[in-house]
Structure 1
Amino acid sequence: MNLTGGRGARRGVLIAGIVTVASLLAAACGQETTGQLQTAGDIAGLPVTHFESGLKPNAPKPDLTVENASNTEADQLATAAIADVSAYWAQELPQHFGEEFEPVAKLLSYDPNEPEIEVCGATTADAAMNAFYCPPEDLVAWDRGLLLPLLRERFGPMAIVTVLGHEFGHAIQFRLGDKAGIDESTSTIVKEQQADCFTGSYFRWIAENRSEYFSVSTSEGLNQVLASMFFIRDDAGQSASEQGAHGTAFDRTYAFQLGFEQGAKECAGINQQNVDERITEEAFHSDDIGSGDIAIDENSIDLLQRSLDQAFSGAGVDAPQIVDEGGTCGDGSGTPPATYCEDNNTVSIDLEELAVIGQPVDREAEFQGTESAGGLGDFAAFSEIASRYTQGIQKGVGASLDNSNAGLRTSCLVGAWAGVIKDEGNNPLVLSSGDLDEAIAELLQPRSLLSADVKGRPVASGFARVESLRLGYFDGSSACTQNYG
């Protein structure tokens, strides 16, 4: 985050929607599982499911030729992923685009630590920790030595399917051409957003149990998929206009969820105009302090209090006061490091613990899969506090605080606050590049407070958590009430 730098125009306080919560009945809480709240309703029209995601026990052996393939688990998963996504597009292209599917001409597996192979104008050593589609050769290639094992270890087998589904999406762009609005002048960010969207549409097909090879649950399975997409985000401070830009985690998960919810035909409509309207990837502003991170201390907490008070001033209720009292209420109950205490309308915080969470992300350690001395970033810490603050606002207008709708409404309202302070010249705090990704990082934590009810129970579905934050960010607080009661 950044201190107010006078950028942009005022977008208004959070009034619409919040003041009408009292007149609505909150939806009943679903079944609780291991300290989590079942997502109310469904996941984009599909039931909430819980099972181990991955290769089906009875999956057929792919009839594919892969150059330089090994017998490793990484290659087995990758080859099955290519066979599976090919089957998806063999159905999708004729049905929705009037095109017959043509398999890619070449598949290549490589280990960058082995003797170099010339591919697509470079060598496999140059392509370490990578997977890619090469249009001139109509080739999909992947690093089985470093990248795929890391993804498998960190996020499970469906992370490999995610990455190769994305690369195959580029092959589909090449085949569709004008029908996908893609030509030589198309920017990288548009191509990448469309490929992420195509990946989401493919995963919808898997989630509907139409795949011969893979199964994915709409709870833990999709959580792992979104976590892998978060992992391969661009660094904070990169501009979407740069060659090679892939998008922030916020942008990439948006595109994936668009495809999952609305299908490949909608993905083909992604273009420069609608990407520019919503993309969040931008370079750091010249007045950003510390590459967008400020210390979580008494001074910044005071700024946060003022920022939230200003944003929610239209709710017509007494604003909760943020107090450093250890993150629990007077009776010892709570959800540390931040707790909404209903008895005295305060948000009790553990400033020391939040300061650790607010440390800048150690991207190098994250990418290497090693222990990091860094945290999740300042906005992750601020968001946890803001989530408890918004529960005070919700209580003031008569909303329920102890079910799954309360968890989703909470993260949605935090998103709405983030939308208000984007380029908000009059607010004490302003979003910086990468802040929304820090919120995504918090949302994908098993113990996420951002999407938790007053008792600290997070909504089980990471897909629903991320979607609720995004809904508030783009559509404001009224959408939080309309969708989550």
Structure 2
Amino acid sequence: MSTKWGRPSLVGMVAVVALLAGACGDDSKNSGEAKTSVGDVAGLPVTHFESGLKPDAPKPQLNVRNATDSEEDKIAIASIADVSEYWTQELPAHFGMPFEPVKELMSYDPSTDTDEACGTSVKEAAMNAFYCPPEDLVAWDRGQLLPMLRTEFGPMAIVTVLGHEFGHAVQYRLGEKAGMSKNVATIVKEQQADCFTGGYFRWMAEEKSKYFRVSTSEGLNQVLASLFFIRDQAGQSSKEKGAHGTAFDRTYAFQLGFEKGAKECAGINQQNIDARITEQPFHKGDKGKGDERLDMKLIGHLQTSLDKAFEGAGAQAPKIVDEGGVCPGGPQTPPASYCPDSNTVSIDLNALSQIGRTGDRKAEFQGEDPGGLGDFAALAEVASRYTMGIQKGVGASLDNDNAGLRTSCLVGAWAAASNRPGANLRLSSGDLDEAIAELLMPKSVIAADVNGKQVENGFERVESLRKGYMEGSTACTQQYG
């Protein structure tokens, strides 16, 4: 976040919260009224099992140049066979046209192979997978990219990347039916491909795949984590050639496809992207390039921002205090805890400062600890505990899954409000990605109840944050009770 180009005063700040009183009740008594059944993922049950290739998966009958017996190639080739089967069903059913298989497939190791694809040596395509329209070719780096994805995120990360590239091949086939032309911006193509990948994973999650099984908890978490990893660098504009989107944008597109299917994906265009895309360059006054030093001065700005944002909620605002991140005789969710007895948010400033350090993207790509997640990841943790005090003040329950999702949603609503004119804190490019990174951490409290019990699947956690950001706080109470 940035305080450098937002005014310290809050004159003109618009409150984000429509009155919560009356919309929030005791979830144990009114759980049947919630429109979302906590414990399902877009209508599918929450499942827990090892995701990946089925033990009895058939051997794909595909001709792949340079294919090896490596586990990465086995997963990649099965992915191509599987997603081809998906589109063989999907294109006739929803687009009225037959599926034509991709003409050429290629696996390569940029450190040893000398092949060319799309007129370029594969040595220049390290850490990459791509679709080449002139050759109707899907290719992938088995030497560096796929092993890293499998090691860091699990096998479904490989399936995600290949599903995405195959989505580009489908765009090429759909043409005008997907709004494709020479003048279509890269971001439109990439958002569509992410969305197509979501539709494919829904099909897989419905147990229609011969090759793979994916759980809606840990398995989809692998997918979301890989989409976070392949996000664009903070500060990039969505107008740039080659823009793919932030992690926030990419997970939105994936979840859209998962929830609504490939036909909805084909309707993604520049107009509806411009209405929601978050990828933007750094503001010219953002001297910290997105991150501020986490100290009590910044916490003071956070307190003011939250107080103003929730002033219409009809609840007494909790105070943020540096008292170790725990509550005496109460909830213990360090580095930030909501203490109901004193209506305070106890923080451990030193621990939050470690989370709030600027991440090292180079280390991240090398599979090393990036060091920190960024200031917004830490501030969102504190904001989540603050919203507990607001929810308590209006009689909402604080100790169940609905409370966790409602909390994350309200954090998203506050984040959107911080973009309003006159705010003392403003979102910087990359801030929402920092929140997603923290949301996917096993001990994050952004989408957790007052005792730190986290909603078990990342799909719902990310979706709830986005819902608040895009639809406001009223949607939080309507959706999560």
Answer yes or no: same fold by TM over 0.5: yes
**What stretches of structure 2 of length at least 5 have no aligned partner?**
none
**Is the 8 Å Cα contact of residues 411 and 469 (structure 1) preserved in structure 2?**
yes
Query: Which AA in structure 1 matches 2:289?
Result: S
| Counterpart for residue 379 of structure 2 | 382
| Counterpart for residue 124 of structure 1 | 122
Query: Which AA in structure 1 matches 2:18?
Result: A
| Counterpart for residue 35 of structure 1 | none
- Alignment pair present for 1:416 and 2:418: no
- Alignment pair present for 1:482 and 2:478: yes
For residues 299-343 of structure 1, the C-alpha deviation after alignment (integer angstroms, 9 at most, x for no partner) is 000000000001001112110000000001123741100000000
For residues 221-278 of structure 1, the C-alpha deviation after alignment (integer angstroms, 9 at most, x for no partner) is 1011100110000010000000000000000000000000000000000000000000
| Counterpart for residue 16 of structure 1 | 18
For residues 168-211 of structure 1, the C-alpha deviation after alignment (integer angstroms, 9 at most, x for no partner) is 00000000000000111000000000000000000000000000
Quick one: distance in 2 between partners of 1:222 and 1:17? 34
- Alignment pair present for 1:433 and 2:429: yes
| Counterpart for residue 79 of structure 1 | 77
Quick one: distance in 2 between partners of 1:117 and 1:17? 62
Matches within 5 A, 1:286-365: 286-331=284-329, 333-365=331-363
The alpha carbon displacement at 1:28 in A equals 8.1
1:53 aligned to 32, 51, 56, which one? 51
| Counterpart for residue 281 of structure 1 | 279
C-alpha spacing 1:407/1:434, structure 2 compared with 1 (3 Å): same
SS of the aligned residue for 1:174 comes to helix
1:184 aligned to 159, 182, 185, which one? 182
| Counterpart for residue 98 of structure 1 | 96
Quick one: distance in 2 between partners of 1:368 and 1:39? 39
Quick one: distance in 2 between partners of 1:45 and 1:331? 39
Quick one: distance in 1 between partners of 2:28 and 2:275? 32
The alpha carbon displacement at 1:39 in A equals 7.6
| Counterpart for residue 406 of structure 1 | 403
Query: Which AA in structure 1 matches 2:204?
Result: I
| Counterpart for residue 461 of structure 2 | 465
C-alpha spacing 1:17/1:208, structure 2 compared with 1 (3 Å): farther
Quick one: distance in 2 between partners of 1:4 and 1:192? 33
**Is the 8 Å Cα contact of residues 26 and 397 (structure 2) preserved in structure 1?**
no
Matches within 5 A, 1:125-140: 125-140=123-138
For residues 401-444 of structure 1, the C-alpha deviation after alignment (integer angstroms, 9 at most, x for no partner) is 0000000000000000011112x222210000000000000000
SS of the aligned residue for 2:289 comes to helix
Query: Which AA in structure 2 matches 1:396?
Result: G
| Counterpart for residue 247 of structure 1 | 245
Quick one: distance in 2 between partners of 1:86 and 1:288? 45
Percentage identity across paired residues of the two chains: 67
The alpha carbon displacement at 1:290 in A equals 1.0
C-alpha spacing 1:26/1:427, structure 2 compared with 1 (3 Å): farther
TM-score (norm: length of structure 2): 0.96
Quick one: distance in 1 between partners of 2:110 and 2:37? 42
| Counterpart for residue 3 of structure 2 | 3
| Counterpart for residue 391 of structure 2 | 394
**Is the 8 Å Cα contact of residues 327 and 334 (structure 1) preserved in structure 2?**
yes
**Is the 8 Å Cα contact of residues 162 and 199 (structure 1) preserved in structure 2?**
yes
Quick one: distance in 2 between partners of 1:232 and 1:272? 21
Query: Which AA in structure 2 matches 1:444?
Result: L
**Is the 8 Å Cα contact of residues 27 and 40 (structure 1) preserved in structure 2?**
no
Quick one: distance in 1 between partners of 2:4 and 2:373? 22
For residues 70-112 of structure 1, the C-alpha deviation after alignment (integer angstroms, 9 at most, x for no partner) is 1100000000000000000000000000010000000000000
For residues 106-151 of structure 1, the C-alpha deviation after alignment (integer angstroms, 9 at most, x for no partner) is 0000000103211101110110000000000000000000000000
SS of the aligned residue for 1:318 comes to coil
Quick one: distance in 2 between partners of 1:44 and 1:397? 29
The alpha carbon displacement at 1:23 in A equals 4.5
Query: Which AA in structure 2 matches 1:475?
Result: E
C-alpha spacing 1:213/1:17, structure 2 compared with 1 (3 Å): farther
TM-score (norm: length of structure 1): 0.95
Query: Which AA in structure 1 matches 2:391?
Result: Q
SS of the aligned residue for 1:430 comes to coil
Quick one: distance in 1 between partners of 2:19 and 2:154? 39
C-alpha spacing 1:468/1:334, structure 2 compared with 1 (3 Å): same
**What stretches of structure 1 of length at least 5 have no aligned partner?**
31-37
For residues 365-416 of structure 1, the C-alpha deviation after alignment (integer angstroms, 9 at most, x for no partner) is 11100133x2110000000000000000000000000000000000000000
**Is the 8 Å Cα contact of residues 337 and 346 (structure 2) preserved in structure 1?**
yes
Quick one: distance in 2 between partners of 1:317 and 1:329? 20
C-alpha spacing 1:139/1:260, structure 2 compared with 1 (3 Å): same
**Is the 8 Å Cα contact of residues 20 and 313 (structure 2) preserved in structure 1?**
yes
Shift >6 Å, 4+ stretches = 27-30
Quick one: distance in 2 between partners of 1:264 and 1:381? 36
Number of aligned positions between the proteins:
475
SS of the aligned residue for 1:464 comes to helix
